[in-house]
Structure 1
Amino acid sequence: MAEQRLSLVTLGTRDLARSRRFYTDGFGWTPAFENEEIIFYQLGGIILGTFERGRWNGTWAEAASTDPAHSRWRTTSARARRSSL
């Protein structure tokens, strides 16, 4: 079995500007990419993305927080990707 790794984490926030200050001023992280909707930080082998939750209403991001089937979808999708390798 292949080694499993985590490479991308996205976090929804109420206030993207406040979140940016938290990570840049608090941890000293520099955004690798940012626009008015999302900010990505490169942290060694992991990328952290932060986005403002209200901007993505009605997308998979909202469904992930409310639909328990979402975790099953992710697992099934991950298995499908691994089996196709």
Structure 2
Amino acid sequence: MPTVWERRDCVSAQVEDSLVILDLETLVYHSLNSTASALWELLAEPKPEAALVEALCEQYEVSPEHCSVSVRGLLAQLEASKLVSEKTI
């Protein structure tokens, strides 16, 4: 199962209802909505995908199946933007 975490060379700040992330390597800004921000905060420490889903299900009223699909989709976007690192353990 993959373990995922945020890249350390990114900085983030809350701006109104969004979390803005600056990739210090590419100098590109990314904006996350509140749900994606909750996931980003969980990625401060390496976690398996299942732990991310579990934590978000506790925070939001959502089924584990729906949450798992949403988390996988968001992680794919974050990976494509090179904002997270992933390692299968």
TM-score after normalising by structure 1: 0.29
The structure in which a higher percent of residues are strand is: 2
TM-score after normalising by structure 2: 0.28
State which structure, 1 or 2, has the greater radius of gyration over its C-alpha atoms. Answer: 1
